[in-house]
């Protein structure tokens, strides 16, 4: 996953009108916790960072997992982790990139009659052709 991919996915899921530098700073902040790992332990997060991760989970960009281990005194201990959903992030980012490439005004003038184009281009009307 790249910074650009996560930035595009965040903009798509949170607010498409969000400035790119804002989405990029959120993506950079979140990626900074992971380093070269594909998951991080939940205990490493401050409450404000954990809130961000919960929001990213709500936007289907992050997920959680847990594992249990037995401590030396026999107690069970559950460890919670955060992981990105790389396929989902890529899907969302790709869908956004494709949507941005589509020109919403393409074909706007396709249904304008040819004679109007001729008139605007300065061609003379045929005197036998009705004006209306």
Beta strand 76-84 with 39-41 is: antiparallel
User: Quick one: average pLDDT of 84-105?
Assistant: 75
The residue assigned the tokens 């969302």 is 92
pLDDT of residue 93: 83
Stretch 7-19: mean pLDDT: 88
What's the CA gap between 61 and 28, in Å, rounded? 14
| Domains along the chain with CATH numbers | 3-103 (1.10.10)
d(CA 57, CA 15): 15
Q: Model pTM greater than 0.75? A: no
Mean pLDDT of 77-86: 93
For residues 126 and 120, give the distance between their C-alpha atoms in angstroms, rounded to a whole number: 14
Task: Tell me which H or E stretch contains 79.
Answer: strand 76-84
Instruction: Compare 1 and 24 and report the one with higher pLDDT.
Output: 24
Section 93-106 average pLDDT: 65
Q: Mapping DSSP to helix (H, G, I), strand (E, B) and coil, where does residue 8 land?
A: helix
Say yes or no to pLDDT of 20 above 70.
yes
Cβ(17)–Cβ(57) below 8 Å:
no
Per the prediction, the chain carries an average pLDDT of 83
Interval 116-126 mean pLDDT: 64
């Amino acid at each position: 996953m790249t910074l650009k991919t996560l930035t595009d996915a965040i903009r798509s899921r949170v607010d498409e009108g969000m400035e790119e530098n804002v989405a990029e700073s959120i993506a950079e902040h979140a990626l900074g916790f992971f380093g070269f790992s594909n998951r991080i332990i939940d205990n490493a997060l401050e409450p404000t960072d954990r809130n961000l991760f919960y929001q990213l989970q709500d936007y289907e960009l992050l997920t959680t997992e847990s594992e249990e281990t037995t401590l030396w005194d026999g107690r069970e201990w559950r460890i919670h982790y955060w992981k990105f959903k790389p396929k989902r992030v890529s899907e969302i980012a790709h869908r956004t990139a494709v949507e941005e490439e589509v020109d919403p005004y393409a074909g706007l003038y396709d249904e304008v009659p040819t004679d109007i184009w001729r008139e605007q281009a300065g061609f003379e009307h045929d005197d036998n052709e009705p004006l209306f």
